[in-house]
Structure 1
Amino acid sequence: MTKLNVETRHAVHPDHAKGMDTQTLRDNFLAQGMFADGEIRLVYTHYDRFTVGGAVPAGGSLTLDKVDETRTATFLERREMGIVNIGDAGTVEAAGETYAMNKGDVLYLGMGSGPVTFKGQGRFYITSCPAHHTHASRLITVEDAKKVEMGEAATSNKRTIKMFIHPLVMESCQLVLGYTSLEEGSVWNTMPAHVHDRRMEAYLYWGMAEESRVLHLMGEPTETRHLFVADEEAIISPTWSIHSGAGIGEYTFIWAMAGDNVDYTDMDFVQAAELR
């Protein structure tokens, strides 16, 4: 029997966030310990009902089926899902299909795909949000992704963005997903910072050394806060919050969004001089 753990995170008003101490900020906006051998662990949020989590079959098999928090027969009955393999090779089975996933590959599962089974040595990062239409499931390999190079070495933010579940690559309802890797010597992942009131976002940091950390900036542009984030930890970013940061050493972050649109460029930039 699959061991499933689900944690619920309620939405936080920005006025409430202003008064939070460090531990309260971490309790509300940082997801830790999602990747445990032989378990599926989910964080079900009240931000657009977005869900993040991890499945680590550790050579065995784990099945994600009914999740009580959604009150549906199966988790994907009214949802779509994006899965990123951040570990060794593994497989995912859904709707009678088996998808072989190498490190960095992304699998999109459309609404109504039924139970999802994870096998092998993969470390599967799970993202999911409500859907209103069934789109075709698709495996998008690293080679299939749309790649965009941004930033400059002079501003310490030279990086490569890989788009997977994205209008330039495929169709989805709400879910948009990809990841960004920093070049050697660059540390800033998103600068200038931005907000997008129409979509929430989640960041999973990975590919980091055990001792490394990313200083993740969040909060309203004139009321910024920060969290130190370790490898395989995720930030739940509300619509009112900036999301930017700088890391110690090599790292990649997976960005995943849901909300009113799938327009990746729909963001309101905040220049560094405006931040407080």
Structure 2
Amino acid sequence: MMRTYSEILSVQNARVKEWASLLERRGRDKQGKYLIEGYHLIEEALKAGAGVETILFLADKGLPGELASLGGAAAAEWIGVSSAVLAKCSDAQTPQGVLAIVAKPEVGADALLAGAHDLVVVLDGVQDPGNLGTIIRSADAVGANAVVLGRGTVDLYNPKTIRSTMGSLYHLPIVEADLAELLPHARERGVRLVTTSLQAQRSCYETDLREPAWLILGNEAKGVSPGVAALSDVQVIIPMQGQAESLNVAMAATVLLFEAMRQRIDPAQINSSCVSNDYS
């Protein structure tokens, strides 16, 4: 069956202006939508049933068949655009030739608490989009149940954040919440709240992370805020033998997540098929 599509070639078109506004948080919040770019991200979104509404592709290159054949693609609107339109809607120096407009999901904290919450990453004011994206990717890699974004954390739908996740934002729930309200409810459900601190006396390797644990990491410069730290059950430090003052927050999160996974996995289950050499 031949898929039909329309064309929009002028950057002055009203819809193009709406799409371009999604590059800014104000536009995303107003429309309840966000942009993703590139074949890999759009493929992951379509496979996950992530609410892809519109797919833009270069009209002079034709419909990208490898995407058109995927599940969920039939529900999307396909529009051929000019290179000028694509550039206007992209923040990349070299646009990748295909963009999609996706509806934001509605995932509340209540749903998180009602479901599996055995291993969760909680972020308290992480500001760098690349750090947030990397943490989400690491959480996905170890099979964490969710990522929670506290107030003051960078927007999940920032294009730089989305690119850094490499599609992992479609593999696990990501929830925005008021940590002062959420964390006490998590503790009531048997969750141990673990924060990182350079002043902590306990190593993360000496801490039992096999039971339900939420790993809380803070702002790049200030760390975990005092109010959130006061809610924690245990503070841990990642021991270092070199002269570095501290680890980048994304690196620290990755160390803690993989230590939690190491403690939880039967060594007999680990084999070469679990190892990835993709460091892109």
Question: Looking at CA atoms only, which structure, 1 or 2, has the larger radius of gyration?
Answer: 2
TM-score, normalization: structure 2?
0.26
TM-score, normalization: structure 1?
0.26
